[in-house]
Amino acid sequence: MINISYADNNAEQHYLALSDQLQARLRNIIKSRKVTINKVKYSVDNVLLVYLKNLQTEANLKELITARPEKFRSIIKKLRTRIPNILDSTSDANRVLYNLFIKSSYDHESFKKLEFIERIGMDTCAYCNRTYTFSLEKKNKIKPEIDHFMPKSKYPFLGVSYYNLIPSCQVCNGLDTKNQNDPRAFGVRNPYEIKHSDFIFRYELKTGNVLNTLTDPESITLSFSKKINGNLKMFKLQELYDKHRDHVVELIILSKSKYVENYRKYLRQYKKKGLKFSDNEIDRMIMGNYVSEKELHKRPLAKLYHDIGKQLGLIV
């Protein structure tokens, strides 16, 4: 629902942190031509063996780990052409790659998940923008979920690809929302491919009396004038944001008062005292939330405040 900015330097650092472990595991699998998961043995046939040997070339492995989302489609297509049952989570090829990229890499101590999350710098869930994703130092064991956008059970070869790993909240990564659902089947777009203009909130007043909204939030409807249907449905954004209509009510009341312009003038007077607030900072203090598109990831519901604030004329 909100954009995550591309950071190819971070993707390369991510690759460098994992490459030694991946290459070591690759050598072992190629040599033994089998893996064991939960006491079940899966074998490496000649076709898969060729693919694994290709990954031993640094450029090929790096390309896979740092691939942007738009390249996922061609990676999947090429692999399915080469190994038709690759997406079948019961096939030997799928399980071998699951062992390589998930069991031996994503779940391995060489993947510093806390550092990975902090490097991305998203303070709220990219899927819903409703929940903080703050993390604490390792000993406190508090960190957000990391969602495999292309689910790891079906696409294990993307299991540690940088742009496939999305910091998210427990709700959006939970059993009743995304979990292992295939985004291709739902038309869901990766947060790295989303623009802020792809989702725009709007409200409508059911009654003519604005004051009714204070005692009856049901008197307004909250919807999207622009949306990506797949994301809206999978993450239940309409249903979840219906729970936040009280925020819209407060913004409506705020827009009808003289407080806004008076407070703007008051804050601008600080310039005389050597303290200058930017227009963006003034908007933030009036709205009680970040409203700059570059800062929507910093606080829950910031996208809602931004869009409704614009509709109400509270911000330009």
**For the segment 232-254, what is each residue's pLDDT rounded down to a tens digit?**
999 999 999 999 999 998 998 89
Q: Answer whether residue 140 shows pLDDT above 60.
A: no
What pLDDT does 180 receive? 75
Highest-confidence range of 71-75, 137-141, 255-259, 283-287, by mean pLDDT? 71-75
What pLDDT does 267 receive? 84
What pLDDT does 85 receive? 95
What pLDDT does 264 receive? 85
Is there a contact between 157 and 64 (Cβ–Cβ < 8 Å)?
Answer: yes
Number of other CB atoms surrounding residue 184 within 10 Å: 14
For residue range 25-45, list pLDDT tens digits in order: 999 999 999 999 999 999 999
What pLDDT does 308 receive? 97
- In sequence order, which residues have a C-beta less than 8 Å from that of residue 134 and are 6 or more positions away? 123, 142, 144
Mean pLDDT of 125-139: 82
**How sure is the predictor about 211, in pLDDT bands with cuts at 50, 70 and 90?**
low
- Tell me what the pLDDT averaged over the chain comes to: 91
Q: Answer whether residue 137 shows pLDDT above 70.
A: no
What's the number of CA atoms in the CB half-sphere (13 Å) around residue 141?
0
What pLDDT does 144 receive? 67
Question: 145-148 and 165-168: which strand pairing?
Answer: antiparallel
Measuring CA to CA, which residue among 178, 134, 172 is closest to residue 153?
Answer: 178
**How sure is the predictor about 139, in pLDDT bands with cuts at 50, 70 and 90?**
low
The rounded distance, in Å, linking the Cα atoms of 127 and 120 is: 15
Give Cα 229 distance to the centre of its chain: 16
Q: What pTM was computed for the model? A: 0.92
Dihedral through CA 177, CA 182, CA 186, CA 190, nearest 10?
Answer: 80
What pLDDT does 115 receive? 87
What pLDDT does 174 receive? 79
Question: H or E element: which one contains 203?
Answer: strand 200-205
Q: Answer whether residue 5 shows pLDDT above 90.
A: yes
Please report the sign of the dihedral spanned by the C-alpha atoms of residue 5, residue 6, residue 10, residue 11. positive
Mean pLDDT of 298-306: 97
Question: H or E element: which one contains 240?
Answer: helix 237-241
Q: Answer whether residue 63 shows pLDDT above 90.
A: yes
Question: 200-205 and 220-226: which strand pairing?
Answer: antiparallel
Measuring CA to CA, which residue among 116, 130, 136 is closest to residue 169?
Answer: 130
**How sure is the predictor about 142, in pLDDT bands with cuts at 50, 70 and 90?**
low
Show me where the domains of the chain are located: 8-193, 196-312
Q: Answer whether residue 314 shows pLDDT above 90.
A: yes
φ/ψ (deg, to 5) at 159: -65, -25
- In the chain, the amino acid numbered 14 is H
- In sequence order, which residues have a C-beta less than 8 Å from that of residue 183 and are 6 or more positions away? 149, 150, 189, 190, 230, 234
- Higher-confidence position of 275 and 199: 199
What pLDDT does 138 receive? 58
Is there a contact between 251 and 305 (Cβ–Cβ < 8 Å)?
Answer: yes
- Grouping H, G, I as helix, E, B as strand and the rest as coil, residue 309 is helix
44-58, 173-187, 192-206, 227-241: which has the minimum mean pLDDT?
173-187
